[in-house]
Amino acid sequence: MEVLVEFFPLLLKGATVTIQLTVVSAVIALVISFVVGLARLSRYRVVRVLSVIYLEFFRGTSALVQMFFMFYVLPLFGLTLAPFAAGFLACGMNLGSYGSEVVRGAIKSVGKPQREAALSLNYTTFQLYRHVLIPQAIPMMIPPFGNLLIELMKLTAVASLITISDLTFAAQIVRAQTGLTLEPFLLILVVYFLIASVLVGAVDLLAWRIKTKRKLNVRTGN
């Protein structure tokens, strides 16, 4: 226990890095989800094909391989990424591919009458997506996005393998320097669980707020 007190600053810093990595890659993943997901619905074949290639590439290979590729192979082509950058790019681009399927699925599940109504109101495609399809699709995206967010947070642990000093890396340092195993690993498992639980709670709260807000709108509308 005393040892863990001694290593507390290191573990705390590790937890901070894990949270930073999660937040930055979540933003990237969210942007990619929408860009690639909407590109899948494009009327242009080239755009659709490109987005399928992106999807199959990042969903078809392992996240660890993508991370190593960015960290060890890209420098050979003159593109050197800092470990942190390689970490959040790999996490974000990997989860973005899964997220794009969520966006596509949710938008496609908005009923056809909604599209027809927008068409009859002479909406442009941009207006159709901006004012009709996306607002109705977002509540459907929240629960699957919540699951992906947990997957993303767990994926950041893999970044410790490309020398990012996150929580897992900190635990490995404690193990290497003290020979302790149970204490550091059990501790970080609990910390990961707590971080994930906060994220689950936040997503549930968001889903609940959207639900109550929408209900309110219906009532005032009537």
Partner 1 sequence: MDWSWIVVADVLPRLLAGLVVTVQATFAGAAVAYALGLMLAILRRSPSRLVSLTTYWLSEFVRRTPLLVQLYFLFYVLPDLGVYLSPFVAGVIGLGVHFSTYTAEVFRAGIEHVPKGQWEAARSLNYSPTQTWINVILPQSIPPMIPPLANYLVTMFKETPLLAAITVVELFNAANIYSNSTYKYLEPMTLVGLLFLIVTIPTVWATMYLERRYARH
Buried b (16+ CB within 10 A) or exposed e, 156-193: bbbbbebebbbbbbbbbbbeeeeebeebbeebbeebbe
User: Residue 69 Cβ, how far from partner 1 at the closest point, in Å?
Assistant: 5
Cβ atoms of 155 and 95 closer than 8 Å: yes
Distance CA 95, CA 90 (A): 8
Alpha-helical segments (H) within 112-181: 112-120, 125-127, 134-155, 167-178
One residue of 141, 160, 165, 174 binding partner 1 per CB under 8 A: 160
One residue of 26, 118, 168, 170 binding partner 1 per CB under 8 A: 168
Decide if residue 80 touches partner 1 (CB under 8 A): no
Decide if residue 61 touches partner 1 (CB under 8 A): yes
Decide if residue 116 touches partner 1 (CB under 8 A): no
Residue range at the interface with partner 1 (CB under 8 A); choices 29-37, 82-90, 119-127, 175-183: 175-183
Decide if residue 154 touches partner 1 (CB under 8 A): yes
Task: Provide the 3-class DSSP secondary structure of residue 123.
Answer: coil
Decide if residue 208 touches partner 1 (CB under 8 A): no
Select 93 or 132, whichever has its Cβ closest to partner 1. Answer: 93
Decide if residue 193 touches partner 1 (CB under 8 A): yes
Compute the CA torsion angle 134, 136, 137, 138 (nearest 10 deg): 80
128 CB-near residues (< 8 Å, 6+ apart): 115, 118, 119
User: Residue 152 Cβ, how far from partner 1 at the closest point, in Å?
Assistant: 11
Select 70 or 132, whichever has its Cβ closest to partner 1. Answer: 70
- Contact residues for partner 1, defined by CB under 8 A: 56-57, 59-66, 68-69, 72-73, 76-77, 150, 154-158, 160-161, 168, 171-172, 175, 181-182, 185-186, 188-189, 192-193, 196-197, 200
